[in-house]
Structure 1
Amino acid sequence: MPEVMFAGPDGRLEGRYHHSKRPNAPVALILHPHPLHGGTMNNRVTYSLYQRFQAMGFSVLRFNYRGVGRSQGRYDGGIGEVSDACAGLDFLQAVNPNASMLWVAGYSFGAYVGMQVLMRRPEMGGFVSISAPASHYDFGFLAPCPCNGLIFHGADDELVPEASVRKLVDKLNTQKGITIDYRVMPGAGHVFTPEQTEKVVDAAEDHVMGVLNRGRMALAAD
């Protein structure tokens, strides 16, 4: 997994990038949890998502927001971090100009950043949001939500009550043409054990491959 440094809005950003050997492979950007609470691109869920998207044949990037690891700059309250994520997408698209589809996947704070990115980049084809902090941030900006995706949450999340996420999902599902695949893991909190993390990425793969396979079938039907 080659180490990369790419230009961000507040200095250079440190990442890890895997380039798929498949022509026109889909691409995915993986976003880590809150930098002020120990979040880095090496977080267990973030790293596991990175590996799983790689196994699914994606070109995939995970990176450290500004001020984390060797990324330059300092924490910017979420605003700058969204800009960092958009810079990550710019890097992915520059290296993969013929990518068949563009995905974003984030965990906790990374899920919030990823949903913000959705609204700024209309070319996004799908998203995976794990433990989205719906009780900490206003997700009202998803109006309308630009694409379908997976929202996954722990039933016993002690930081973000499941009911707050269910309320967000119900709201998104009322939007025309939008279907949110909402999955809840019994017994799981905000931080997943290694065994639970494996189930999280299994759910992500199940959702993503379902979308890709439906897309292939639609193309074949044409």
Structure 2
Amino acid sequence: PVALVLQPHPQYGGTMNNRIVYETYNSFYKNKFSVIRINFRGVEKSDGIFDNGQGELSDAAAALDWIEKENPGYNQCWVSGFSFGALICMQLIMRRPEVNKFIAISPQPNVYDFTFLAPCPISGLITFGKNDELVQIDSILNLKKRLSVQKNIDVKFEPTDNANHFFKNKEKELSTIIDRYITDKITIV
């Protein structure tokens, strides 16, 4: 299986070395995925400048192309993202039919429009902190309501008690949620 892990917002210090991105990467790696995490354009040594999501979506698509090419015959393709990366992750799954599952960590439906998920093409996990200071819980519950009525998919919403947007001091709980979801949903072929 192959996986792509996407960083949080570049204009707010997000990089592929973010601890949540790193832990997510490790969860995939431990589960025998060929996994890649990338910096979006203009971050650290990457060329370019921030492109309000359009260029970053192109960056993610190019990374997915690369990991698929490097792993001919892969049997599963997962995409994951944290915060802004969750938005790009969800946009990418709408354009790439080979993606089987997604993991979106701390998405921001109060900031970004997620109505493009109509319908959401695949099952996945959306996990968030119950004390997220950047996202009102109502916006997450509205997203859950919208996705729960869709047929033929199962999007699991899993909150973490006492966790903020960045899962400060709750990294272990987040890693457990991600590991459990991957091991429960990976298909051995």
Judge same fold: TM > 0.5, yes or no.
Answer: yes
1:158 to 133, 136, 139: 133
Q: Which runs of 5+ in 1 are unaligned?
A: 1-25
2:40 and 2:146 map into 1 onto residues whose CA distance is 30
For the residue of structure 1 that corresponds to 2:118, the secondary structure is: coil
CA deviation vs aligned residue, 1:32-74 (integer Å, no higher than 9, x gap): 1000000000001001111111111000000100000111010
Q: CA deviation at 1:178?
A: 1.4
Q: Which runs of 5+ in 2 are unaligned?
A: none
Largest Rg, 1 or 2 = 1
1:202 and 1:182 map into 2 onto residues whose CA distance is 14
For the residue of structure 1 that corresponds to 2:5, the secondary structure is: strand
Corresponding residue number in structure 1 for 2:146:
171
Mapped contact 1:153–1:162 kept (Cα < 8 A): no
Cα root mean square deviation, aligned? 1.0
1:119 to 94, 107, 118: 94
Mapped contact 1:131–1:154 kept (Cα < 8 A): yes
1:105 and 1:44 map into 2 onto residues whose CA distance is 14
Q: CA deviation at 1:107?
A: 0.5
Q: CA deviation at 1:144?
A: 1.1
Moved over 3 A (4+): none
2:2 to 27, 31, 48: 27
Larger RCO (alpha carbons 8 Å, 6+ apart): 2
2:72 and 2:172 map into 1 onto residues whose CA distance is 31
Report matched runs for 1:109-148 at 5 Å: 109-148=84-123
1:78 to 46, 50, 53: 53
